Structure 1
Amino acid sequence: MSGAGRRGRAPFNPKAGFQQREQAGAANVMKTLLKQARQSGQLNLSNRALEAVPEEVWRVNIDVPEEAQNITLDNTEDRWWEQVDLTKLILASNRLTSISENIKLLPALSVIDAHDNLISSLPEALGQLTELVKLVLSHNQLTSVPSCVCQLRKLQILHISHNNLMELPNDIGELYYLEDVDFSNNKLTLLPRTIGNLTKVMKFNIANNKLANMPPEIGEMNALRILDATHNEIHSLPDELGYLAHLEQLFLRHNRLTHLPLLERCTALKELHLGNNAIPSLTPAHLECLQAVSFLDVRDNKLTVIPAEITILQDLERLDLCNNDISSLPYEMGNMNKLKAIILDGNPLKSIRRDIVMRGTNELKKYLRSRIATEEAPSKAPQKGVKSQQGGSGVIGGGEGVDAHTVSQLKSLDYSNKQASDVPPDVWELAASSGVNSVNMSKNAFTMWPENLVLLVDTLEDLNLGFNRISALSTDVGLCHKLVSLDLRNNQLTTLPQEMSSLQNLRFITLACNRLKLLPPVLYELVKLESILACDNQINSIDVPGLLRLRELATLDLSNNDIMQIPPELGNCTSLRSLQLGGNPARNPRPAILAKGTVALLEYLRDRIPT
């Protein structure tokens, strides 16, 4: 070959050749997919790194297909002339930022799934897809629901979760045939009253928004079976919520509720989740409306009493009362035959010994039954502010004070809810001389460990310093060597002193609602620990080797923290009877696994331990 011939040819580029082959391969794949789509009416383009939908997709039912160019009478395999209209289009897990107006060229579409993209706007032509039944746009960047969506009169399933929606249009009420709606994980602050027109919706998910209330019209959604409003800012609910006669599951956890309306017509309700609110009581009238409930969650509220009318709930199987202010249970609960689980961690129980509670629900019910026949008459001990039989006042400490007779007889000092920053000296003297073993100083304004607790180190077994402003514990805590239970919830703690390693009798510790970024390492030296409640902190990792040292650990609550990864080795902590991990950003285990309970969760984790 001459030199001129060599100069006229482009130099060989192996990389360019590879790219050309790759593009040609992608084109061939697209042709194959389009050919199959014309035969089946379904096209799946998910997870292909698409930044735009190829134009031939929109024209799949318009342009003459390539296979039509070679027609033979013997060709019965390709039968291109029998093509069907595209009805299902899946564009999930790509890099799409928008969808073309040419989507109108696919008028037969009944399903569009474009979740997990970067879509920030929708074409007006979407409203022309009159046959659309299912529209999935979750995990995108939409800031509003455009009017074109509200023109889809046959729509039954609408999922726009994990976007940036600020509000919903009033026209949403025109989607009369909706059955499944998911607007969770957005920024909604209110719901339009027109949602009352959505009378066929059976599942309505508005969790993880910024809703402050619900409109009364929600009571008109009479087909509703599942309503999830978890993680909002709801402070009140309309009475009309009680009109939902077909409601089976109601999720209201992590809101600001101080009151629950009477759910008078909710006779089908099976699950009621009210945890992490500020509800002070469940009245007999409330319980009267919940007779079909099998799962009642009222953990992390402000309940002080469980009324005897709880026995009306004869179908109740699981009752979660964690982290309230309950001091006793009605003995009649022992006769609730279907009740399989009563969870009481984090309550100041006084009438029931902790060892009975820790034996499990069956033993607890057995104990309650045994007390029905032997229930003692109420104590006749003088109460606060009441004069003793000798005629002198039993109150010391100034103000409301404490009753000296009660302290000396019950060996218990209750100096809670006084908004105090210190304790009068005469109260300490009384406690020390009486050999007090239980001290409750919760709901005050303490900013540090009370120094005079050192007077009680030889007798103190139960200490509650919850709901104060304590940012650090004194090393004196290590002197309380008889301590069995320590409640430090709702303070400002970031760690615990190493001196606590001497608390070898400690079995229960509550650290919820502090500022911990990890479980303090000193806890792993307290080998008798049976319960660690550390929800609502900033914990970002789990020290499995440390936890495995706690062979008596039965309850571990790490819910609502910042844990990104749940180590599978946690499944080896087989002593756990209650493991709470919900409300963390970890993607696995999925919520469905967490909901199956501790035994199933531990088994799931063990199955994923690398071999």
Structure 2
Amino acid sequence: SSLTDLDLSRNRLRGELLRAVGLLGRVRTLNLRDNKLAALPPTLAGCSSLVELYLGRNLLVSVPPELGLISSLKTLELRDNKITSLPPEVCDLRLGLLDLANNELRSLPPELGSMTSLRSLPLDGNPIKSIRREVVAGPISALLKHLASRQADPDAPQSVGPPGRLGSLNRPVARSGNVFGIDEAALAADAARKLRLGGVAAAAAAAAAGPGPAIAGAGRGGSFGSGGGGGGGGGGGGGGELVLARAGLSEVPNEVWAAGPSLTRLDLTGNQIPALPPPPDGLVRLSGLRCLVLNAMGLHVWPLPSVAGALQGLTELQVRNNPTLRQMPLYPFVACPEVVRLELSGVAAAGCLPSGTFAGLTALQALDLSQTGLAVFPGELVQLPRLRVLNLASNRLDTLPVEVSEMRRLDELNLSNNNIATLPPQLGLLSDTLRSLMLEGNPLRTLRRPILERGTAAVLLYLKDRIPA
């Protein structure tokens, strides 16, 4: 279908929204306001082009975690419902507006503090008790900092959800090849069997798949490896994807490493595994990996091997929300020189890396260094030829070097919640390419509020006009 905008507001829709909504893969705006919808199907994740979703004034009591897979979503309106909790998976979205006003929320997930793209978060009309009223009613930057601090505190209550919920991801994961009516529990059990997970791990993996899969084998046949045929963890040819998010693991089963080069994606999010096996075991055996997700694992040791090119094909690395990771080796990315997307938000060690650490990552297109305590802009980033997205939010930066104006491929720059008082006028030279410049939460003295409120284009034009002759 070529449909891009769909307005179903005030249509007396009741009960659960039809699962077939997931077939609307090209829809960018979906308006379901003013109905009597009580539930949303997980197949909503099939709307992979969705930018704006309006669900206000319904009867919703929950939000499916699969909503967090719609990476294009920027506006999510949930006001005037009966929602009691927000799944942490939703917090991986890069929303500008999240409207939760007039619901039944008593708390907010700490993971929401990582949503540094957020510009508006209406919360009035909720019985929130876990956060001081002045924080909830104050600036959004203060609220996000508060939530982020709770996330980094191992003693703070964590809203990780029940075991088996879909792991926190930034883009859709191939799970079964068919989101309509597939038996996820059977898929999880099959993946566990093929990996020969023993004891508690196998039971947890299979049982967790009820409300949402903890394990998903993503070959063509819906099982680990390719084609769904074969026996052991290594499988046949082709690529395999394995999601073991929040499966209650305390170590990685040996069968995972035995999968060898056939494994292309591994997600261990939310399992408390402080360290991975060093070479010659562990990740060096998974030379075919293209995506590695190690978020919120309580890591104490940098997980990548110090073996040059050991993960030559790795293009995406996520190590977010590991505040216990306080040291990194001198050359932390020597194993994956071709990485394209690198996410280190909430990793304290990433905020004090030596100058030049990122210089060799010439394929890098997206870098997230938010909430790392970064105090100085890494100068080598200016020379990265393909860098398009740079997130430096919620750090301790007080200046921005003039050389940033040389980053002519930059499409998105997030500087929100830092200590920046002035911006170099030369930043205005990026007006033809920089689509999004986020500055909220900085003590800017040279930019008036009306200019900031007019958005990125107005700010860049203002700066450009002030470049010395």
- TM-score (normalised: structure 2): 0.48
Larger Rg: 1
More RCO (CA 8 Å, sep 6+): 2
